[in-house]
Amino acid sequence: MSLSKTPASWQTHLPHGSTYDASAAGAGTPVGVWQRHWADEPERICLMDPLGNGLTWRQFEEGSRKKAEQLHAAGLRAGQRVLCSSESSLEGILAHAACLRLGAVALPTNTAYREAELAHVIGDARPSAAIVDQTQRADWIKKSDPGIKIFSPDMQTLQEIDSSVELDKVGPLDPALIGYTSGTTGRPKGAVLSHANLLASVEALRLAWRWSAQDRLVLCLPLFHMHGLGVGLHGTLHAGGSAVVLAGFDPDVVFDSIEDHDATLFFGVPTLYHRLVDHPRVNELSRLRLCVSGSAPLPAELHGQFEKATGQRIVERYGMTETAMLVSNPTDGERRPGTVGLPLPGVEVRLRGEPAEIEVKGPNVFSGYWERPDATAEAFTEDDFFRTGDLGEYDDEGYLRISGRAKELIISGGYNVYPREVEEAIRLHPDVEEAAVVGTASPEWGESVTAYLVVRKDVPLDDLRSFLAKELAPYKHPRILYVVDRLPRNALGKIQKHRLAAGQVLPDDE
């Protein structure tokens, strides 16, 4: 295996004269930092909704304490898992903070998940409690495991609670959250992130993005994935800044929030920038201090259009559920479109093999998958670098460019879709003989889930999607469907997916 040259140093990210202490960053907990904030500035606003109803640090402390006491009264103890699946809200955030303060492990779960997807997460992680905002989801959870205690995010209760619970005792290496992600196996596995992993990542971002107590983020990304939760929410609480928490992405609410609340930061997946760039109010984004994009490749052309419309040069960065944030374009240096930048403080990045895979190490990198020693062993090299499954190269200035993926993965609108999971669900359809699923280029979604089917009887796209409705979240459903005579295979019988993705197929064209 060949190891290529090392990229430009992460020192580039540091503000002039400052240092980054990797061992300190990896030795604390987010809760430890929050304790300092609520002790030092109890009346400072940390979170608000778009109407301006705010939470001060004192209210954050009290609200999360109350919820932690309620979870404890219901029997929840440190180390047990809590499935969290609701639309973003201040109450939901307090519930998340309550889990971390109690030492319980948060299981953030996509609200689009259907019964079968939830059942898989529940069967695997065996949560003791769930915090959900929909009766249908609560019913599915109960069906999967009647022993799970179910709460709404506001956790209203009339019962007397024991307020002598000891909180904030978690250690850096204790598990803080489990993010479900798949890799190549089709069935999602849980990436266990420690409190120190979360802290190390947001400390690097604080330095790299000059994130300060004066910053106010418009946070419209869902809080059940790394981007909204690990970057947006945890970054805000770490820096001691504030966030306007939106229930979802609506351009007008984003523009109004920026104006009404003097926001300084906006984070989005490329699909959001694609939708914003043509909006009549787009130039209102010009007043922000910083716009960041991640979770999927930001086309260089969109970067240019956005700069033209707003004067903002988007900072593109790269991360993963397993590692939190890894690489970012600099805030004070050159921001290179089409690249994800330079390794963040504390993160080692190397390229190995041909084509070169990106391998990473650092205090932000998780230590393994939940109860999957086999998958964990496969994911790390002999010298403890994590294999990202992404392919990369450095440009002439040492900026990392993501050139492809070694893993089979489609990223649609920032959500990961695993072709194998979709293929397995499609194959259950009685009229489908064979199915291959690939991502095809889409200006809005980045990639669109595209199915190639060999059928016994015609299967219209809408029928296929209704058939999948019970098994798969709607964002995983094919948006494009081709019926073909046969799937292209190589001499070993393996389906040639690259040819499908490039639109080269149909067997008749051969």
The interface partner of residue 388, options being ligand AMP, ligand MLC, none and the CB cut-off 5 to 8 Å by kind, is: ligand AMP
Q: Is 226 in the site for ligand MLC (CB under 6 A)?
A: yes
50: preceding bond cis by omega (within 30 degrees): no
* Residue (321 or 376) nearer to ligand MLC, CB: 321
Please report whether residue 439 would count as binding ligand MLC according to CB under 6 A.
Answer: no
Binding mask 414-433 for ligand AMP (x = CB under 6 A): --x-----------------
Say whether residue 181 binds ligand AMP (CB under 6 A): yes
**Closest C-alpha to 80, from 101, 98, 106:** 106
Dist CA 222 CA 225 (whole Å):
7
Residue 222 near ligand MLC by CB under 6 A: yes
Rg value, the chain, Cα: 23
Residue 453 as a binder of ligand AMP (CB under 6 A): the answer is no
The two beta strands, 129-132 and 149-151, are: parallel
Q: Within 13 A of 213's CA, how many CA atoms are on the CB side?
A: 9
Site string for ligand MLC, 447-486 (x = CB under 6 A): ---------------------------xx-----------
Q: Which of 228, 235, 297, 478 binds ligand MLC (CB under 6 A)?
A: 228
Does the protein bind ligand AMP through residue 402 (CB under 6 A)? yes
Please tell me whether residue 321 binds ligand AMP under the rule CB under 6 A: yes
CA distance 437 to 323: 27
d(CA 217, CA 235): 10
User: Binding residues for ligand AMP, how many (CB under 6 A)?
Assistant: 18
Binding span for ligand AMP by CB under 6 A among 39-47, 289-297, 429-437, 448-456: 289-297
Q: How far is the CB of 322 from ligand MLC (least distance, A)?
A: 9
Query: In the set 45, 132, 221, 464, which binds ligand MLC (CB under 6 A)?
Result: 221
Pull the structure tokens for residue 408: 């089979």
Q: At what angle do helices 115-125 and 135-144 cross, to 10 degrees?
A: 50
Distance CA 91, CA 247 (A): 12
Binding mask 192-231 toward ligand AMP (x if CB under 6 A, else -) reads ----------------------------------x-----
* CA 316/CA 29 separation, integer angstroms: 26
Q: How far is the CB of 438 from ligand AMP (least distance, A)?
A: 15
Burial of 459 (0-12, 13-18, 19+ CB in 10 A): buried
Q: Which stretch binds ligand AMP (CB under 6 A): 96-104, 132-140, 317-325, 492-500?
A: 317-325
- Which one of residues 254, 285, 340, 468 is an interface residue with ligand AMP (CB under 6 A)? 340
The amino acid at 241 = G
Contact 114, 143 (CB under 8 A): no
What tokens does 213 get? 């107590």
For residue 55, give Cα distances in angstroms to 42, 45, 311, 365. 10, 6, 32, 31
CB count, 10 Å around CB of 137? 21
With b for 16 or more beta-carbon neighbours within 10 A and e for fewer, the 224-242 pattern comes to bbbbbbbbbbbbbbbbbbb
Nearer to ligand MLC, 222 or 363 (CB): 222
Mapped onto helix, strand or coil, the DSSP state of residue 216 is: strand
**Is residue 319 at the binding interface for ligand AMP, with CB under 6 A as the rule?**
yes
360 binds ligand AMP (CB under 6 A): no
Q: Answer left, alpha or beta for residue 52, where phi above 0 means left and psi between -120 and 50 means alpha.
A: left
Min CB(147)–ligand AMP separation in Å? 30
For residue 475, the partner it binds in ligand MLC, ligand AMP, none, with Cβ less than 5 to 8 A by kind, is: ligand MLC
Please select the residue that binds ligand AMP; options are 69, 390, 408, 471, rule is CB under 6 A: 390
The beta strand positions in 51-138, using DSSP E, are 54-56, 81-85, 105-108, 129-132
Is residue 291 involved in binding ligand MLC (CB under 6 A)? Answer: no
Q: Which CB atom, from 140 or from 415, has the smaller least distance to ligand MLC?
A: 415
* Residues of this chain that bind ligand AMP (CB under 6 A): 181, 226, 294-297, 316, 318-321, 340, 388, 390, 402, 405, 411, 416
* Residues of this chain that bind ligand MLC (CB under 6 A): 221-222, 225-228, 248-249, 269, 271-272, 294-295, 319-321, 412-415, 445, 474-475
